[in-house]
Every structure is written in C-alpha cells, then in structure tokens.
Amino acid sequence: MQQHSTLGEFIIENQKQFKYSSGELSRLINSIRLAAKVVNHEVNKAGLVDILGKAGETNIQGEDQQKLDVYANTIFMETLTNREIVCGIASEEEDDFVTISGNDDSNENKYVVLIDPLDGSSNVDVNVSVGTIFSIYRRVTKSGTPVQLEDFLQEGNKQVAAGYIVYGTSTMLVFTTGHGVNGFTLNPAIGTFYLSHPDMMFPENGTIYSINEGNYVHFPQGVKDYLKYCQMEEGDRPYTSRYIGSLVSDFHRNMIKGGIYIYPTSTKAPKGKLRLLYECNPMAFLAEQAGGKASDGYMRIMDIKPTELHQRVPFFCGSTNMIDVAERFMKNYPAT
Ligand code: AHM
Ligand code: MG
C-alpha cells in the first residue's frame, strides 16, 4: 500500500517551499491546520444545533452558543494571535485589521494573514459544504513596528502562500506556497491531514460553468453572451451547469473536473459580490499555481492594486481556455 505523507511530514520534506522564513511560514501553516481541525469539529456538529442549543442561547456549560461564522473567526484569530506568528490579521468578519504585538510590544514577525473564516456560511443550515480561505503576505512596512493598512493592501501577485479548507464530505486543506498546489485530507479518526491530492491541476478545458444564473437579467451583456455560448449545441457544448453557492466547493470541484466559476458585476451588485483580498486573490493564486486562470473579465485578478480592505471585484476563475473564451466575450463590451 502506498504510504501518504502527513501534512507535518510534507512541510519538513519541502522546507525549500518555506524558504522565506526561519520556520515562520511552517509554523503559520501549522496554526491554520490546528484551527481548521477545531472549526471542522464544530461545523460537523452543525446539524445538532437544535439539540445542543441554538445560536444566541446559552449551552449547558454556560457558554454562549455562537453562529458558526463568528465561531470560526474567533478560532482562527485566536490561534494565530496566541502563537504570535504573524504581525497582523485582516478578516472578512472584522471591519478593520488587527495589529498583533508581542509580549514586549515589539513584533518582529514578517507575515500578515487575510482570512475569510467561513465562506458560504449561509449553506451551513442546509448541510452544504462551506470553507475557510486564507492569504499570506510579507509585511512591507518596517519590522518591529505596528502593521499599517499598506501591509494588507498588496497586489495578489505578492502573496507568499494561500489556500482553503473545504468542510465537505471529507475535510481538505488545499494550499500553495508558489510551488504548485497540494491537497491534504483529514482523517477524522486520528485528526491527521494526509497528502491525498499532490500537484493539483486545473484541466485546460472543462465542461462545467458555475454562476448564479438567477441573476441573469442583471448581468452585463458580455456575461449573457458567454452563457448563451455555454448553452449552445456545438462540439462539447452545451456545458453542464453546477452552482453550489459556496465558492470553495465550486472552485474545488472545477479544479478537479475542469470548469469556470463566474461572479460578475450586476445591476444589483455593480462591483460584484466577492472580496478581492479575502476571496479572489487567494483563489486566483491557487488557480494560477494549478495551471488555471483568474480575471475580473478584463485583467488578471492578482495585478489589481487594492484600495480598500473589503473591496469587491467581479471574478472569473477556472480552466484557462474557458477563461480566455469568457474574456473574449467581455471584450466586446468594454468595462465602464
Ligand atoms: P459570503 O462571504 O457572505 O459567504 O459570500 C460569499 C459566497 C460565495 O461562497 C458564493 O460563491 C457566493 O457568495 C454565492 O452568492 P450568491 O448567493 O449571490 O450566488
Ligand atoms: Mg466570504
């Protein structure tokens, strides 16, 4: 039987990937692994919420039951803060970034983390997979001083690492440090992540498109035209429509099977819905590392210069040839 590495072994065996750090990046990934296990345990109990106590109620230990997204945020923030591995964290759940100062108020740590602790959390109530998305940068301001907004407003192409955890039929941690994409599956019986999906790659072509088509009438004309193309009978078309409404799960499926995910602008959401820093950049980094592509319909996601923490952008991500075709349709209608 083939022996699979554990995530811990993988980190040790691939120290070159973690070259920027004196072990800092390894420790950071290890902390994310730990928080993921804690959150996974809670997400898996979600169906028992009526039995164990609802959000807002007090459970038997006298602790307040929290909504899962708030819970996940607390776990990731605390795990990263307590270990003093990073100098700052920005979370989709928080208005502003958090500065982490060490015991003596000086923090020599190099990295900042941006995180969406529980993306797609509206799916929890109906037992559909949700995910955590994270993005890691080196700070740009002087080490040892409090982090600044500019440490977080970096272009996606400056990411040092990014990844997601999908709490699905099995729980997986998928990440890149810029040396390809590797996926690790949690064995819940012993709480260990094993390398189950080495060198994940987007097929160049795919036959799945993922978009909330209910918003069709509100979409830009380029997207409408592309959707008509997807549905046309020709060659390998019509494509299959698959939309979970949980970015991590839709991305994960498309990376394995080949497909395109689109969350465009619309008259209802003129800037799109997804957040550049917490959702699009990390997914774009993973996509490119897996041989796929990510754009806003016109330009590379990772080249967008962020201007605010919670900035939204339209998002086209997936198999390279599919993104190329979608971009050709978009070009017929220049961005306004
Ligand atoms: P969230 O960060 O509030 O959870 O929103 C992000 C989610 C994505 O996971 C998903 O792809 C998208 O929103 C679904 O939005 P919609 O319901 O508008 O299709
Ligand atoms: Mg989100």
Whether residue 273 has its Cβ less than 6 Å from ligand 1:
yes
Same domain as 241, residue 100: no
- Give the CATH number, domain containing residue 236: 3.40.190.80
Same domain as 143, residue 218: no
Same domain as 269, residue 138: no
pLDDT confidence of residue 4: 82
ipTM of this predicted structure: 0.96
pLDDT confidence of residue 323: 98
Low-confidence ranges of the chain (pLDDT < 50): 1, 59-61
Domain total for the chain?
2
- Cβ atoms 156, 293 nearer than 8 A: no
The answer to whether position 218 is within a domain reads yes
For residue 75, what is the enclosing H or E element? helix 68-82
Residue 254 annotated as part of some ligand binding site: no
- Give the CATH number, domain containing residue 140: 3.30.540.10
Same domain as 97, residue 45: yes
Residue 122 annotated as part of some ligand binding site: yes
Same domain as 194, residue 55: yes
pLDDT confidence of residue 52: 53
Same domain as 127, residue 38: yes
- What tokens appear for 34 in the block? 């730990």
pLDDT confidence of residue 45: 85
Q: What is the pLDDT of residues 63-117, one digit of tens each?
A: 555 588 999 999 999 999 887 789 999 999 999 999 997 655 557 889 999 999 9
Atom of ligand 1 minimally distant from the CA of 130: 9
Q: Which of 177, 199, 221 is the last residue of a domain?
A: 199
Identify the nearest ligand to the CA of 248 by its number.
1
Same domain as 185, residue 218: no
Q: Which domain holds residue 284?
A: 208-332
**Distance from C-alpha of 296 to C-alpha of 298, rounded to nearest angstrom:** 5
Residue 92 annotated as part of some ligand binding site: yes
pLDDT confidence of residue 51: 54
Same domain as 192, residue 215: no
**DSSP character at residue 19:** T
Distance 131 CA to ligand 2 centre (A): 9
The answer to whether position 2 is within a domain reads no
- Cβ atoms 31, 79 nearer than 8 A: yes
pLDDT confidence of residue 10: 93
Task: Answer whether 0.90 is exceeded by the pTM.
Answer: yes
- Cβ atoms 159, 137 nearer than 8 A: yes
Whether residue 73 has its Cβ less than 6 Å from ligand 1:
no
Same domain as 214, residue 110: no
